[in-house]
Chain A
Amino acid sequence: MFKILKYIFFDLIRSRWSYVYLLFYLLLGAVLLFLNNDLSKAVITLMNVIIILVPLIGTLFGVMYYYNSKEFTELLLAQPIKRSSIFIGQYLGVALSLCMSLIIGLGIPFVLYGLFQSNEIWDFVLLLVTGTFLTLIFTALAFNIVLYNENKIKGFSYSILLWLFMAVIYDGLFLMSLIAFQSYPLDSFSIGATMFNPIDLSRILILLKLDISALLGYTGAVFKKFFGTGLGLFISIGALSLWVVLPVLNIYRKCRKKDF
């Protein structure tokens, strides 16, 4: 598995798209920091960009990589390698190369700005951790989608739908259900509903850490009231980890039974 991971990773970090992705974050980080001069605000703006953009790029890259490397996968399948090592290796190769672009792209401007002398280093680290989680989660979901769909158009449509649902529609439905059932106690419902959306989870995680109650929203406030900041952080990180582990386990299960 690590051999596959190594080669896929080195293949991908040399691709044009990795550079574009890296440059985008470099630019975004630099612009936000040097025009804004407020680290905390920069982190919030970055969070808003990251929780929407990272899932989109993660899903699209995952789907694109799988379909583009179909023949190469077949070549690997004919080698004396375990099937699960091939797919988990590919998945990690894609996800880690994306994570690297994110971490380096945002890291450089922040380090240049003097992050290490500031108190907000942990906020920033948490931002990167969430970005990494989201990349791992959505790339894994993308690999799940493509393993079930040989048809490229279907695969792409489902992955875009998944992103749209998680990033936009879910919130809308959530809000509407809160309004519709406002006469009932909704605390446990809203906590449960948040757990089912990694994007919401990440948002709450960062906002809990930043301690900006105005931005927490209803779910965030409930979260904080329920768990307090420390436990809330812990639970949301735990839920995010589950969001990584479950899709990866399914990749492992599905790839062993699939025909190529």
Chain B
Amino acid sequence: MIKIEQLHKKFGKNQVLKGVDLEFLDKGIFAIIGPNGSGKTTLIKALLGMVVPDKGDLSVGGTSIRKDWRYRDQIDYLPQIANFPANLTVKELISMIKDLRNRPGEDKRLIALFKIEPFLSKKLSNLSGGTKQKVNLVLTLMFDSPIIILDEPTTGLDPIALIHLKELIKEEKAKGKIILITSHIMSFVEEMADEIVFLLEGKVYFKGNIEALKTQTDESNFEHAIANLLTQEDV
């Protein structure tokens, strides 16, 4: 479904991606992890067409994404920072996104699940950070697209919402979707991810499931295994 070949990207003098090769073919939850500045967000943005790569090719569903924006219809994306037009109400924002995508969405179920009915007619500038994130999640997950990209989905969520989020992600996976998640919360990654992609200094340093990582690093604890990967690099 998603194929990334020799992706290079430079911002000024800063070479962020140095030849990333990745393939996500089957359904599953893939966690993209790595230290700050390793290129996670740039990789995702390149996939969404927000960053124009210097070199390399990206294809979604078999067609290259250069020049054609229509492929984005197959992707649901949750941005890292939720910030919306201040004077629109939640309801208007939801109908706006539905209108822009020209598709119906199952927003009702998600609104009920995250309990944001009381906020529906409030202006977006008056919402708390966590509520904004919930609205953000509704906007992302209400469409039924084959690819879902979640950038730090857990930010600001309360424990109940977090449980609902995990259930939702699992449901979507069961429908046969490809789900990409970036997160710094290792317990979340360990619980959710089928496979992890470890980026370091703009390259794919490790790709495989958690068990393989543990055996490779000879650690039984996931967090330590990750730390081990990082220290190996230093030696």
- Interfacial residues, chain A to chain B (CB-CB below 8 A): 3-4, 7-8, 10-12, 14-15, 68-72, 74-83, 257-260
Contact = CB atoms under 8 A, between A and B. Distances in A.
Contact of B87 (A11, A77, A258): A11
Contacts of B100: 3-4, 76, 79, 81
B87 A257 contact: no
Contact of B101 (A7, A12, A80): A80
Interface residues of B, number: 30
B81 interface: yes
Nearest to B81: A71
A221 B92 CA distance: 53
6 contacts: A14-B87, A75-B79, A76-B100, A80-B72, A81-B100, A259-B52
Nearest to A15: B87
Contacts of B127: none
Nearest to A259: B51
Contacts of B84: 71-72, 75
B69 A78 contact: no
A209 to B, nearest CB: 37
Interface in B69-87: 69-73, 75, 77, 79, 81-87
B106 interface: no
Query: Shortest 7 CB-CB distances between A and B: which pairs?
Result: A71-B83, A78-B77, A80-B73, A11-B85, A80-B72, A14-B87, A260-B50
Nearest to B125: A15
A260 B48 CA distance: 10
Contacts of B211: none
A35 B184 CA distance: 65
A83 B69 contact: yes
B51 A15 contact: no
Nearest to A75: B79
Contacts of A70: 83
Given A79-B101, A80-B72, A71 B85 contact: no
Contacts of B81: 71
B75 A78 contact: yes
B181 to A, nearest CB: 15
Given A79-B97, A259-B11, A259-B51, A11 B86 contact: yes
Contact of B48 (A3, A72, A78): A78
Contacts of A79: 72, 97, 100-101
B99 interface: yes
Contacts of B83: 69-72
A69 B83 CA distance: 7
Contacts of B70: 80
Interface in B86-111: 86-88, 92, 96-97, 99-101
B79 A71 contact: yes
Contact of B85 (A7, A80, A82): A7
A69 B50 contact: no
A77 B101 contact: no
Contacts of B88: 7, 10-11
B19 interface: no
B203 interface: no
A72 B72 contact: no
Contacts of B69: 80-83
B45 A260 contact: yes
Nearest to A14: B87
